[in-house]
Structure formats: structure tokens, C-alpha cells
């Protein structure tokens, strides 16, 4: 904005005109104003004071105006504040208080480049000539700061690389920007951007024992730019020790020993750690050692020795692994201890359990090599859906189980067989089996490939297991047309279900492909994408013309028959004439 000074030679009213031409030669209309020049009025003295002469974009600027005459404050003088720059204009008014002051505030514009704003204050009051003063404010453009972590999720004490990119309002990189890095409001480093406006620094996660989120903030500073900042969040997970413990023998007799194998790791990395062991039967077992350090492979062997006992006992061994900077890990295992009385032998015809496929388990119970008759044998599997099975041994000490289970998911199953009889100490046998989901056989068909709005497209689904149909399998039919609703149904005892898909009235003609999903507990899910299709055809009006073509001959035939019956029309045949002769 420009200011032009002019001195008038005499009193009077003058019309002032202003016309502006831009860089392209376009001329504006003339704007006029009236200036009254008098000689008998004394001018007001105006002084403008700005809160800051350099401010950031979108920040407040406070202008304090003081109006006086011959050093004496002037109260109730009208003050007009004009602030102008390219693309920005502010016009504020107020009046002075008893001290001759007034304060006006405006917001600096959101600029893309360094912008100078001229701030002018004019004061007027009856009986005085107008007075004015002006000042300048430099507005700084913003710095855009983008922060990107190489990994947004890390573990305790891990280091991740963080990239900082600084650009101006034109998204161009800004070099030599001073960076101040804070993590959760704590200063952790400084840096400077390179010619591409980029800087890198490493964030090393602190030791945490609970899931924690840290905010990384980078403040950017450069001369002739407003301060910029950006943030990103990094999630830090604690390092939790995983402990595995298992016995070499899950069952021993009194005064015998077994090894306990302990492995400590973090994720998949073996981790040396201090290990502590306890048991729920310290009067009956000895753990040696009961605390020690694992080796470099995270392994430790402990000997469990049973004292002399006269009854079956199940000992629970607890293990705790401790390491600085890690969350302690815990686990446990059982060791069964029994007197030397009953022995259980188990044989299976197949070590793979599949849903609804029978596995034969043969059990032999003996005492000191002699078969035990009428011993109660219980078979258990270590998943909740399985109810234990019980049988009794015959004269040869044998019992047989037909094991038919529903497997919830692919897993490894521990099968435990326990033998009991009055006067004997129970015996155990543990076997590890693989369990797998069964596969489904799914066939899909459609009743009619052409359907009209207001009708149903009927999808037929058969679900079986081999040659055997499956009842209560969940069938979900998903049409590809967005306005049609997915439908769920269940198979009947023949393995079939009919799934109707309603076609709403007004549905546009199109081809609709159908995807069928089938699930059943204990079986692998089956998805058959776009396995059948049907066509939605336009709705048709009633065929009146065809109806008339049918009704008219029928009506004529009815009239003809009535006339024959009434004798109006006589029908004769050649055979009747011969008979009359």
C-alpha cells in the first residue's frame, strides 16, 4: 500500500480521486473522497505502538493508539485503524479513554510469503484537525513439518529411524531448518534439514513394563519463517519373557527322578535369564537346583526327585524367569508320581484326530506284569468340548475306546488315560495326538437362472462329509448385486438347504453372481465365489392380446355347444344315415 503526501495552498473543500493500474495494464474505476482544509483548527497528535513488528501467520497484532494535543491526552477522540497488504485489509474503529489511549486488535493473515502490513491510525474530534500515524508489521509464512517413523510399533529399548520433512506453503523443501526434537515434552536432540528439506534421527524406546505410547514432536525454526511443528506417535510394547517348561517324563514312581527342561525366550530369541522354581509339594519332591541362570540358548535343566510315597500325587512345578528390562515370565507343568503298582499301556490305530472320524484306542492295564480285570479306565483330551470316556477292562486287562471327537481347530492334543480300581493306586498314560478340522463337500445349484423383480431366486446347497450329508451347517449366500441382501440358512438332515434371495420390485435388470460361504464347527470353512448366477429381467405387463386370442375361440366353442344342445344346430354323421336305411 502506498501513501501520497500533498500540501493544500488554501482553505476549502477538495475532492480527491484515486485510480489504480495493475501489472497487466487494467485500470480501476476512480474512487473519490472529500478533504476539508481549514486554518483555524489545530491538529491532533497521534502515536501508534504495535505489540510486535514481526509476527507469525494467523497470530494476533495489538495496536495501542495515543491521541494528544500539546502534550495533553484527548478523551473520546474517534480512532480509525487501517491495516492493509496484498490480499489483506482490516478496518477497525474505537475511541480514546480518559488517558487518550485505545487498543485495537486484528489477526495477521495466513500468508505464503513474507508479507509487510502497513498499519495506519487516524484520530479525529470536533474542534481539532485530524491527526495520523502509521507503522509496519512483517508477517512470516508457515513451515510444514511432517514426521514419519520407520516403524510405528517397537519394543522396549529398540531403536527406530524417524524422518522429518520440512516444506513451505508451496510444498517445496526448505533447507537449513533448525530442528528441536522432543519426546513427551522432553528434549532428546537437535538437527538441521538438508537440501531436500529432510533430516533423520533415531528414537530409542525406553524400558517399559506396560504398553506405552510416546509422542515425538519436532519444532522447526528458520529466519523469515514462522515456527512450525509436527508430531507422530510411537507405540512401545514391553518385552515379555516367554517360559516353556516340560518334563522328560510326565509320570514317575516314588524315589525316581525326571528332568525338567526349561527354555526362556523373547519372541523367538533365546534369552539368558534368572530362573526360580517352586512346587506345591515341597515335602514330597526335591528340585535341584531351585534357582539358576539359563545358558546362552535360554535353556536350563532341573532334576525333580520324588520322595517315597504311598499314594498317587500330582506335583505342580512353577517356574518364573526374571531379567532386567523385561517383564517376568511364568509357566507351570505337572508331574504325576505314583507307587509302583498299576501300569497302563495305550495303543491307537492312528495318531491323527479328525472331526467325526473314529479312532480306536486300545488300553492294557496290568500290575507287576499281571492283567487287571474290571479296572475303571478314563480317557481324557485337553480341550473343553470333550467329555471323558470310561470303560472297564476285561479278563485280559484290556479296554477299547471308539474315539469320535469334534475338533475346534487344528491343534496338538494331549490324550491322558487313567486306570483305577479299588485297592490299587491309579495309573496314567499320556499320548500326544495331532487334531485337524475335517473338510466339507459343498455343491451349489440354482432353480431358475432368470428371475423377475418381486420373485425369489432359489439357491440349493448341499453340504456333506465324503458320502455322508451334514445337518445344521451354516450356509451364507451373498449376491453380488448391492441392493440384494445376503441370506443365511442351515442344512437339513439330508444335507440340503434352499436359500431364497428376494428380488425387490423396481430392481434394474442385471446379472447377479452368487458367492456361497459354508461353516460348521469342527470343519474347515468353504467359500465358493461366484459359483452360480442368475439374470434379473424386466417386469412384464399382463398379455391381454394373447388372452383374447385364447378366450375368443373358447367362447365360440361354448356358444356352438349350447346351440347344438338346444337343437338350433343339427349335426349329422354318415353312419347315422346308413342305420336309418
Q: Which residues contact 551 (CB under 8 A, 6 or more apart)?
A: none
pLDDT of residue 466: 84
Name which of 269, 7, 224, 216 is nearest 112 in CA terms: 224
For the record, the C-alpha cell of 315 comes out as: 506335583
Contact 96, 131 (CB under 8 A): no
Torsion-angle region of 397 (φ positive above 0: left; ψ -120 to 50: alpha; else: beta): left
pLDDT digits (tens, 9 = 90+) for 470-490: 999 999 999 998 888 999 999
Contacts of 35-40 with C-beta under 8 Å, sequence gap 24+, read 35/8, 36/12, 37/8, 37/10, 37/11, 37/12, 37/13, 38/11, 38/129, 39/11
pLDDT of residue 382: 87
Contact 378, 418 (CB under 8 A): yes
Contact 118, 83 (CB under 8 A): yes
For the record, the C-alpha cell of 135 comes out as: 507503522
pLDDT of residue 73: 94
pLDDT of residue 230: 93
pLDDT by position in tens, the chain (length 581) = 555 556 665 666 777 776 666 556 666 677 776 766 665 678 899 999 999 899 998 999 999 999 999 889 999 999 999 998 887 888 999 999 999 999 999 999 988 889 999 999 999 998 888 899 999 999 999 999 999 999 999 999 999 999 999 999 899 999 999 999 999 888 888 999 999 999 999 999 999 999 999 999 999 999 999 999 999 999 999 999 999 999 999 998 777 899 999 999 998 899 999 999 999 998 999 999 999 999 999 999 999 999 878 788 899 999 999 999 999 999 999 999 877 688 999 999 998 989 888 899 999 999 878 899 999 999 999 877 788 999 999 999 999 999 888 888 888 889 999 998 876 778 899 999 998 999 999 999 998 889 999 889 999 999 999 889 999 999 999 999 888 899 999 999 999 999 999 999 888 899 999 999 999 998 999 999 999 999 989 876 555 556 667 777 777 777 777 777 776 666 554 444 444 44
pLDDT of residue 580: 40
pLDDT of residue 40: 63
Taking the C-alpha atoms of residue 53 and residue 284, their distance in angstroms, rounded to an integer, is: 86
pLDDT of residue 578: 42
- Please report the DSSP string for 520-544 in residue order: -TTB--EEEEEEEEEEE-------H
- Cell 530362573: give the residue: 275
pLDDT of residue 579: 42
Q: β-pairing, 101-107 with 159-167?
A: unpaired
Contact 375, 365 (CB under 8 A): yes
pLDDT of residue 6: 62
Taking the C-alpha atoms of residue 296 and residue 298, their distance in angstroms, rounded to an integer, is: 5
Amino acid at each position: 500500500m502506498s501513501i501520497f503526501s500533498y500540501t493544500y495552498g488554501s482553505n476549502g473543500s477538495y475532492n480527491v480521486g484515486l485510480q489504480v493500474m495493475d501489472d497487466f495494464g487494467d485500470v480501476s474505476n476512480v474512487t473519490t473522497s472529500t478533504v476539508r482544509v481549514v486554518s483555524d483548527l489545530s491538529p491532533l497528535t497521534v502515536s501508534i505502538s504495535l505489540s510486535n513488528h514481526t509476527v507469525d501467520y494467523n497470530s494476533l497484532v495489538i495496536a495501542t493508539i495515543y491521541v494528544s494535543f500539546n502534550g495533553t491526552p484527548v478523551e473520546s477522540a474517534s480512532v480509525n485503524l487501517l491495516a492493509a497488504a496484498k490480499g489483506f485489509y482490516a478496518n477497525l474503529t474505537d475511541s480514546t479513554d480518559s488517558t487518550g489511549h485505545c487498543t485495537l486488535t486484528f489477526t495477521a493473515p495466513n500468508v505464503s510469503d513474507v508479507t509487510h502490513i502497513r498499519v495506519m491510525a487516524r484520530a479525529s474530534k470536533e474542534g481539532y484537525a485530524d491527526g495520523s500515524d502509521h507503522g509496519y508489521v512483517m508477517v512470516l509464512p508457515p513451515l510444514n513439518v511432517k514426521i514419519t517413523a520407520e516403524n510405528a510399533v517397537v519394543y522396549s529399548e529398540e531403536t527406530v529411524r524417524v524422518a522429518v520433512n520440512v516444506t513451505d506453503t508451496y510444498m517445496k523443501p526448505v533447507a537449513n531448518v533448525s530442528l528441536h526434537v522432543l519426546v513427551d515434552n522432553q528434549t532428546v536432540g537437535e538437527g538441521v534439514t538438508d537440501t531436500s528439506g529432510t533430516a533423520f534421527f533415531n528414537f530409542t524406546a525406553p524400558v517399559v513394563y506396560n504398553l506405552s505410547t510416546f509422542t515425538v514432536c519436532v519444532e522447526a525454526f528458520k529466519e523469515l519463517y514462522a515456527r512450525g511443528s509436527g508430531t507422530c506417535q510411537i507405540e512401545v510394547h514391553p518385552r515379555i519373557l516367554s517360559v516353556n517348561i516340560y518334563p522328560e517324563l510326565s509320570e514317575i514312581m516314588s524315589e525316581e527322578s525326571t528332568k525338567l527342561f526349561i527354555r526362556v525366550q523373547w519372541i523367538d530369541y533365546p534369552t539368558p535369564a534368572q530362573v526360580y522354581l517352586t512346587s506345591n509339594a515341597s515335602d514330597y519332591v526335591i528340585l535341584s537346583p531351585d534357582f539358576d541362570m539359563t545358558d546362552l540358548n535360554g535353556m536350563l535343566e532341573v532334576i525333580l526327585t520324588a520322595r517315597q510315597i504311598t499314594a498317587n500325587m500330582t506335583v505342580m512345578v512353577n517356574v518364573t524367569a526374571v531379567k532386567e528390562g523385561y517383564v517376568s515370565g511364568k509357566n507351570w507343568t505337572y508331574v504325576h508320581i505314583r507307587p509302583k503298582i498299576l501300569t497302563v499301556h495305550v495303543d491307537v490305530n492312528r495318531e491323527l484326530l479328525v472331526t467325526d472320524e473314529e479312532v480306536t484306542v486300545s488300553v492294557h492295564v496290568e500290575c507287576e506284569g499281571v492283567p487287571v480285570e474290571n479296572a475303571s479306565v478314563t480317557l481324557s483330551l485337553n480341550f473343553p468340548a470333550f467329555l471323558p470316556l470310561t470303560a472297564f477292562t476285561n479278563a485280559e486287562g484290556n479296554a477299547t475306546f471308539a474315539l469320535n471327537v469334534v475338533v475346534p481347530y487344528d491343534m496338538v492334543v494331549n490324550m491322558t488315560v487313567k486306570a483305577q480300581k479299588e485297592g490299587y493306586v491309579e495309573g496314567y498314560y499320556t499320548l500326544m495326538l495331532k487334531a485337524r478340522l475335517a473338510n466339507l463337500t459343498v455343491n451349489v445349484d440354482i432353480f431358475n437362472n432368470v428371475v423377475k423383480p418381486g420373485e425369489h431366486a432359489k439357491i440349493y446347497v448341499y453340504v456333506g462329509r465324503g458320502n455322508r450329508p451334514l445337518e445344521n451347517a451354516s450356509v451364507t449366500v451373498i449376491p453380488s448385486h448391492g441392493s440384494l441382501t445376503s441370506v443365511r440358512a442351515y442344512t437339513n438332515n439330508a444335507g440340503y438347504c434352499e436359500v431364497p434371495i428376494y428380488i425387490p420390485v423396481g430392481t434394474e435388470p442385471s446379472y447377479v453372481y452368487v458367492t456361497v460361504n459354508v461353516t460348521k464347527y469342527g470343519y474347515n470353512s468353504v467359500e465358493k465365489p461366484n459359483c452360480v448366477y442368475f439374470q434379473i429381467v424386466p417386469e412384464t405387463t399382463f398379455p391381454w392380446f394373447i388372452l383374447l386370442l385364447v378366450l375368443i375361440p373358447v367362447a365360440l366353442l361354448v356358444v356352438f355347444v349350447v346351440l347344438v344342445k338346444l337343437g338350433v344346430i343339427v349335426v349329422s354323421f354318415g353312419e347315422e344315415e346308413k342305420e336309418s336305411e
